[in-house]
């Protein structure tokens, strides 16, 4: 096997031990990421977490302090041009030529990354929903249209991997929804692998099959969204006639503290077997249990839990 041979089951993107220090400040801290072909991968973290810095390192725009990035089987530091050949990216809105039309700009920017046929340019403009304005000068475009034009420029050369840094930033709610639908389509209908960063949880939850969460430059969790949600159960809610008393009984018999109670329910963190046991105990003591429900976790619940866990770990490290 030669070094040039690429198998299709090889990950599209690998970051291994990726770090970036600015002076004494560590913006990205030993990050390991793996994105497989066909995934729509969300890179999630609050502002300042290190997302843009990571993406710049992936694209060879910033050199890592440590670690390696491999795109489509090629080391970005060693073979930047080859590594980026089948990659389309938008890190920030490109500096478009305002006196040229949208179409002319896409053509130009596509030429910088390998070129695109006239048909591909038209398709990309259509895909992002600005074909009807393609022959107007960019000077007349709104912020949202320039954002779309940036995405069109990344898509026109028909890349295998698309990397987008906060693609819905600065768009109005309608634009956000359209770009979100577009990104979903890139994966499901056009077979592209998409890596996008976002600080918006619900956005990632709606669009992405896989996610990595970072905070302070560090990876907190990575995996399939469905798996993450499955591994992090929410509390079980018992609809019961005397919630406060029911909570006290479960605490006394099973040692489980209530998460919350209200007028009709008590919610307690427990696994399935414990839920069944708690039900037996409650019914045995004459409580009227009218419903048992485990509310679906959102990515936000998981994320907030992770942030809390991380804060506890850091507090413990300081002691
Ligand atoms: N060139 C730079 N010099 C110094 N600090 C930087 C530089 N670029 C980014 N940072 C810092 O690194 C951290 C991560 O920034 P960034 O990657 O832009 O985060 P994000 O994209 O997740 O909002 C921030 O604290 C930011 O201020
Ligand atoms: Mg950023």
Strands 13-22 and 66-71, by their bridges, are antiparallel
The CATH number of the domain holding residue 137 is: 3.40.50.300
Q: Whose CA is nearest to atom 7 of ligand 1?
A: 22
Residues 116 and 169 in one domain: yes
Residues 68 and 216 in one domain: yes
Please tell me the predicted confidence (pLDDT) of residue 4.
43
Over residues 160-172, the pLDDT tens digits come to 999 999 998 878 8
The CATH number of the domain holding residue 270 is: 3.30.70
- Structural domains of the chain, count: 2
Best residue for ligand 1 mutational test, from 18, 19, 21, 22 (most atoms within 8 Å of Cβ): 22
DSSP letters, 192-249, are: -EEEEEES-HHHHHHH-SEEEEEETTEEEEEEEHHHHHHHS---EEEEES-HHHHHHH
Q: Quote the pTM value.
A: 0.79
Query: Is residue 2 very low, low, confident or very high in pLDDT (cuts 50, 70, 90)?
Result: very low
DSSP letters, 242-279, are: -HHHHHHHHHHHH---EEEE-SSEEEE---HHHHHHHH
- Can you give the three-state secondary structure of 64-108, one letter per residue? CCEEEEEECCEECCCCHHHHHCCEEEECCCCCCCCCCEHHHHHHH
**How close are the terminal C-alpha atoms of the chain, in Å?**
53
pLDDT at 306 over 90: no
Residues 157 and 270 in one domain: no
Helix (H, G, I), strand (E, B) or coil at 259: strand
In a domain, 309, yes or no: no
Mean pLDDT of 139-155: 91
Top-confidence residue, 65 or 116:
65
Over residues 66-109, the pLDDT tens digits come to 999 999 999 999 999 899 988 999 988 788 999 999 999 999 98
Residues 108 and 240 in one domain: no
Distance of alpha carbon 59 from alpha carbon 283, whole angstroms: 60
- Calculate the alpha carbon distances from 41 to 12, 92, 118 in Å: 11, 18, 29
Residues 80 and 205 in one domain: yes
pLDDT at 7 over 60: no
Torsion of CA 276, 278, 281, 282, to 10 degrees: -110
Return mean pLDDT, the chain: 89
In a domain, 118, yes or no: yes
Residue reference for tokens 């930033």: 169
In a domain, 311, yes or no: no
In a domain, 164, yes or no: yes
User: Domain boundary residue among 196, 230, 264?
Assistant: 230
Establish whether residue 57 lines the binding site of ligand 1, counting it when its CB lies within 6 angstroms of any ligand atom: no
Q: Whose CA is nearest to atom 24 of ligand 1?
A: 48
Helix (H, G, I), strand (E, B) or coil at 157: coil
In a domain, 318, yes or no: no
Please tell me the predicted confidence (pLDDT) of residue 128.
87
Over residues 221-275, the pLDDT tens digits come to 899 988 877 666 678 999 999 999 999 999 999 999 999 999 999 999 888 889 9
Please tell me the predicted confidence (pLDDT) of residue 89.
92
Distance of alpha carbon 31 from alpha carbon 17, whole angstroms: 5
| Percentage above 90 pLDDT, the chain | 60
Residues 223 and 238 in one domain: no
In a domain, 301, yes or no: no
Over residues 204-215, the pLDDT tens digits come to 888 999 999 998
User: Domain boundary residue among 203, 230, 257?
Assistant: 230
In a domain, 226, yes or no: yes
Please tell me the predicted confidence (pLDDT) of residue 181.
87
Please tell me the predicted confidence (pLDDT) of residue 19.
98
Q: Whose CA is nearest to atom 3 of ligand 1?
A: 22
Mean pLDDT of 273-299: 91
In a domain, 305, yes or no: no
Top-confidence residue, 299 or 60:
60
Top-confidence residue, 10 or 161:
161
Residues 34 and 161 in one domain: yes
Residues 220 and 96 in one domain: yes
Distance of alpha carbon 49 from alpha carbon 39, whole angstroms: 22
Q: Whose CA is nearest to atom 26 of ligand 1?
A: 48
Please tell me the predicted confidence (pLDDT) of residue 175.
82
User: Domain boundary residue among 181, 198, 230?
Assistant: 230
Residues 201 and 259 in one domain: no
Best residue for ligand 1 mutational test, from 20, 31, 50, 165 (most atoms within 8 Å of Cβ): 50
Instruction: Identify the domain containing residue 270 by its residue range.
Output: 233-294
Residue reference for tokens 């304005």: 133
CA of 27 to the centre of ligand 1 (A): 6
Please tell me the predicted confidence (pLDDT) of residue 187.
83
Residues 40 and 178 in one domain: yes
Residues 161 and 84 in one domain: yes
Residues 96 and 64 in one domain: yes
> What is the 8-class DSSP label of residue 139?
G
Please tell me the predicted confidence (pLDDT) of residue 8.
56
């Amino acid at each position: 096997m030669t070094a040039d041979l690429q198998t299709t089951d090889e990950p599209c993107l690998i970051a291994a031990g990726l770090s970036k220090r600015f002076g004494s400040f560590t913006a990205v801290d030993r990050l390991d990421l793996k994105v497989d072909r066909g995934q729509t991968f969300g890179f999630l973290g609050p502002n300042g977490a290190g997302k843009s810095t990571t993406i710049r390192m992936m694209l060879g725009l910033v050199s890592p302090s440590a670690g390696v990035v491999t795109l489509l089987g090629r080391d970005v530091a060693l073979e930047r041009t080859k590594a980026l050949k089948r990659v389309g990216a938008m890190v920030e809105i490109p500096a478009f030529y305002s006196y040229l039309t949208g179409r002319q700009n896409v053509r130009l920017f596509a030429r910088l990354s390998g070129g695109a046929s006239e048909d591909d340019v038209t398709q990309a403009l259509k895909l992002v929903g600005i074909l009807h304005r393609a022959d107007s000068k960019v000077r007349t475009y709104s912020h949202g249209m320039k954002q779309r034009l940036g995405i069109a420029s990344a898509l026109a050369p028909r890349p295998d991997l698309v990397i987008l840094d906060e693609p819905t930033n600065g768009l109005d709610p309608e634009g956000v929804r359209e770009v979100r639908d577009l990104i979903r389509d890139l994966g499901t209908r056009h077979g592209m692998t998409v890596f996008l960063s976002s600080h918006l949880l619900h956005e990632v939850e709606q669009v992405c099959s896989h996610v990595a969460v970072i905070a302070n430059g560090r990876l907190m969790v990575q995996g399939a969204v469905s798996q993450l949600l499955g591994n992090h159960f929410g509390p079980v809610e018992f609809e019961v006639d005397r919630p406060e008393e029911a909570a006290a009984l479960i605490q006394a018999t099973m040692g489980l503290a209530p998460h919350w109670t209200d007028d009709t329910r008590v919610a307690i963190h427990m696994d399935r077997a414990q839920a069944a046991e708690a039900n037996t105990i409650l019914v045995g003591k004459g409580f009227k249990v009218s419903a048992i429900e485990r509310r679906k976790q959102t990515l936000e619940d998981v994320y907030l839990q992770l942030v809390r866990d991380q804060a506890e770990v850091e507090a413990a490290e300081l002691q």
